[in-house]
Amino acid sequence: MYIPTMGFITYVVLCGLVRGLKDNFNSDVLSSIITFALVCLVIETVVVKAALFTAGAVNTPTVDLMSLLGYKFFYLSLHIIFGLLLGRGRKPTGFIFTMLALALAVCCGFALWQALRRLARMQPSHGQECMTDMHSITIKALPVFQALVCWVLLPTWPAADLVPVLTVLKATVTKAATVLVTTAAAAAANSSVPGAA
């Protein structure tokens, strides 16, 4: 549960950062991101649990399944980090970003497929050997469904350039440095006055 939880927290913070880059950040943004992501995770868990139940894996633990599906937040966090680095704060484009995004989606789907294929709790129950073909098809289709959920969870990138933001940041830093120098000079002048104690 550690990696899915930390991936979820990182995902929420990075989505908040992307919203801040769009000048669209307020106090309700983080709670709306958390709510939307958790609702998507619960709906995805219910759909996957129902699909596995239909395929014969009637004893699939819900918490284990939610944990497996929560690993997507790690891949989404990497996707957003690569987008921020390669897009320099705006919508990332280009061949490299597209290949990285595709590779992350494939890795996310492959990891889910491996887990569903190998974990004993995700297999059809004894006495349901006729369901193995259906189970095989189901565990191959579920990573595609997870890729769609990941696409829904991706943030919208800011379209504008960061030049205005960088200009405001530079002006703020310059003003803060001026205030700091002025305050330090005044403090030095007050300490050098004889008789001032």
Amino acid at 16: G
Q: How do residues 103-151 score in pLDDT, each as one tens digit? A: 988 988 898 888 888 777 667 666 556 567 777 788 888 888 888 888 8
For the stretch 24-35, pLDDT in tens is 778 788 899 999
Give, in order, the Cα–Cα distances in Å from 124 to each of 4, 28, 56, 64, 128: 25, 43, 4, 16, 6
CA 34, 39, 43: angle at the middle one, nearest 5?
Answer: 150
Q: What is the mean pLDDT of residues 35-40?
A: 93
The 3-class secondary structure across 27-64, one letter per residue, is: CCHHHHHHHHHHHHHHHHHHHHHHHHHHCCCCCCCHHH
* b/e map 159-184, b = 16+ CB within 10 Å: eeeeeeeeeeeeeeeeeeeeeeeeee
In this structure, what token pair is assigned to residue 173? 């830093």
State the Cα–Cα distance between residues 63 and 69, nearest whole angstrom. Answer: 10
pLDDT of 42 reads 93
For residue 38, is pLDDT > 90?
yes
pLDDT beyond 80 at 186: no
CA pair distance 69, 85, nearest whole angstrom: 26
Q: Is 89 helix (H, G, I), strand (E, B) or coil?
A: coil
The per-residue pLDDT for 6 is 92
Taking 60 as the threshold, does the pLDDT of residue 162 lie above it? Answer: no
The residue that leads in pLDDT, 63 or 194, is 63
User: pTM here?
Assistant: 0.71
Q: How far apart are CA 27 and CA 32, in angstroms?
A: 10
Cα–Cα separations (whole angstroms), residue 150 to 17, 96, 128, 135, 169 = 18, 19, 32, 23, 33
